[in-house]
Amino acid sequence: MSPKGRPEGEYRSAQHEGSPVRARETFEVAVIGGGLVGAAIAFGLRSLGPRLALLDEGDVAYRAARGNFGLIWVQGKGMGLPSYATWTQRSAREWPRLAGELLREAAIDVALAQPGGIHVCAAQGELAQRAAALEALQQQDGFRRYDVEILEGRELRQRLPGIGPDVAGGTYCPLDGHCNPLKLLRALHVAVVRAGVAYRADHRVVGITARRGGFVLDTARGVVEAGKIVLAAGLSNAVLAPMVGLAAPVRPNKGQVIALERMPRFLALPVATIRQTDEGTVLIGDSQQDRGFDESLGLDVLAVMAARAVQVFPMLAAARIVRAWAALRVMSADGFPIYEQSAAHPGAFVATCHSGVTLAAAHAYALAPAVAAGVLPESFKPYTARRFGVPQAA
Ligand SMILES: Cc1cc2nc3c(=O)[nH]c(=O)nc-3n(C[C@H](O)[C@H](O)[C@H](O)COP(=O)(O)OP(=O)(O)OC[C@H]3O[C@@H](n4cnc5c(N)ncnc54)[C@H](O)[C@@H]3O)c2cc1C
């Protein structure tokens, strides 16, 4: 695993030779990674105030948190792991609390809207398949059921005026929604800083040593000691986790997003691949490619995304593209999160997932308190990296 432009071996190297002064700070808890996962956990721990540190790498980092699509999405998730569906639903239901607290504490409106969302099926066969897949999902033992409506013809056109004549239908789930993910990241950072948490930018962690009663982190700006640590460094977790007897086998998965010009509001609710932001911009997203650490744009992929979007909403053909970007998801082999406390070095936790917007509320209100208590409850058991058969320290 190689963080941006740097060979793996640079971790734990004496790369800061020449720095005149090496600072040393001590905290009760240090969260490593200030992306959406780390910032949401830090938000959940903010009552620690100055006893908590949030360490981030800086602008050279890969940051899914800055390139994502902004959906809070429940429908279709949890095949093969019903508890993940429960976890996702829990987060979606707690999102209004999160948005409210961020508004009060950071004075930032993250533009949360949860009017439900639609997964559009272009062809008739696709709709039947989608309906069958959602039914199979909900039939799983232990699945916490939620409402899903199968929309055809007139029903779909009523919910999504402007939809193309060729679109066969869609599935609607009232729990789905979206937010402004950049405002979310900003609001989490502002709220934790206002709570007195020590936010340290440019503190890339290059080495971790476990010792009695805590951990010593070697960072780009000096040494940080902490009683507990949470590894929430996105793709870098793969390198950091083995330093404390954990494993985080995550790989990059490239997603590309197209931003169109601002348009008069035509989309009252998000579609899985197209949404209109609070500011009127139309976003087209959801490509997935395994290309390693490649963040380049692919015109071929963008063309397919644009053509599909025009099939769904023909009027988009006349809209101007303002920009497009690619960003890397943090993906495990089965797509489910990894949450675990080190058996070899208790007090070291790892947290990683590919739906950090959706799960932000669960991370703040369920994972963070578990970290504070020092015990991950039974409900976190399915998320251990042991499911991948990766060796961990005893
Ligand atoms: C194109 C795309 C679309 C997406 N759409 C959605 C969506 O609609 N809904 C949804 O829920 N999710 C979506 N996601 C996923 C979501 O963005 C991620 O789940 C989330 O950003 C992951 O957060 P993270 O904090 O784990 O990782 P990142 O956001 O990558 O953050 C990792 C952080 O760790 C820091 N870091 C890295 N290494 C170190 C180190 N050694 N020391 C200190 N700090 C370090 C970096 O500076 C960075 O800030 C999407 C992702 C992409 C790429």
Distance 160 CA to ligand 1 centre (A): 31
Residue with CA closest to ligand 1 atom 37: 233
CA distance 155 to 352: 38
Determine the pLDDT at residue 153: 83
Which of 6-10, 155-159, 211-215, 240-244 has maximum average pLDDT?
240-244
Residue with CA closest to ligand 1 atom 30: 63
Distance 326 CA to ligand 1 centre (A): 13
Is 303 exposed, middle or buried (CB count within 10 Å of its CB: 0-12, 13-18, 19+)?
Answer: exposed
Pocket flag, ligand 1, residue 252 (CB < 6 Å): no
Residue 62 makes CB contacts below 8 A (sequence gap 6+) with 3, 4, 234, 235, 252, 293, 295, 327, 328
Distance 299 CA to ligand 1 centre (A): 24
Pocket flag, ligand 1, residue 236 (CB < 6 Å): yes
Residues across the chain: 394
Determine the pLDDT at residue 9: 41
Q: Is the per-residue pLDDT at 205 higher than 90?
A: yes
> What are the tens digits of pLDDT across the range 342-392?
999 999 999 999 999 999 999 999 999 999 999 999 999 999 999 998 766
Distance 52 CA to ligand 1 centre (A): 21
Pocket test of ligand 1: the residue of 60, 68, 112, 301 to mutate, having most ligand atoms within 8 Å of its CB, is: 68
Q: Is the per-residue pLDDT at 8 higher than 70?
A: no
State mean pLDDT over 236-246. 97
DSSP 195-261: TT-EEETT--EEEEEEETTEEEEEETTEEEEEEEEEE--GGGHHHHGGGGT----EEEEEEEEEEEE
Determine the pLDDT at residue 366: 98
Pocket test of ligand 1: the residue of 293, 329, 350, 352 to mutate, having most ligand atoms within 8 Å of its CB, is: 329
Distance 36 CA to ligand 1 centre (A): 6
Contact 61, 4 (CB under 8 A): yes
* The ligand 1 atom nearest the CA atom of 358: 11
Determine the pLDDT at residue 122: 85
Q: Is the per-residue pLDDT at 88 higher than 90?
A: yes
Distance 250 CA to ligand 1 centre (A): 12
Q: Is the per-residue pLDDT at 6 higher than 70?
A: no
Pocket flag, ligand 1, residue 65 (CB < 6 Å): yes
> What are the tens digits of pLDDT across the range 293-320?
888 899 999 999 999 999 999 999 999 9
CA distance 296 to 378: 41
Determine the pLDDT at residue 392: 63
* The ligand 1 atom nearest the CA atom of 181: 17
Pocket flag, ligand 1, residue 55 (CB < 6 Å): yes
Distance 157 CA to ligand 1 centre (A): 35
Distance 91 CA to ligand 1 centre (A): 17
* The ligand 1 atom nearest the CA atom of 359: 11
Pocket flag, ligand 1, residue 177 (CB < 6 Å): no
State mean pLDDT over 121-126. 86
Distance 164 CA to ligand 1 centre (A): 34
Determine the pLDDT at residue 173: 98
Determine the pLDDT at residue 58: 79
CA distance 60 to 202: 9
* The ligand 1 atom nearest the CA atom of 38: 25
Residue 364 makes CB contacts below 8 A (sequence gap 6+) with 40, 41, 43, 44, 94, 98
Confidence of residue 91 (pLDDT cuts 50, 70, 90): very high
Residue with CA closest to ligand 1 atom 4: 68
Pocket flag, ligand 1, residue 257 (CB < 6 Å): yes
Residue with CA closest to ligand 1 atom 22: 356
> What are the tens digits of pLDDT across the range 10-30?
454 333 444 445 689 999 999
- Read off the tokens for 35: 């992306």
* The ligand 1 atom nearest the CA atom of 56: 44
In the block, tokens 């578990």 appear at 370
Determine the pLDDT at residue 393: 59
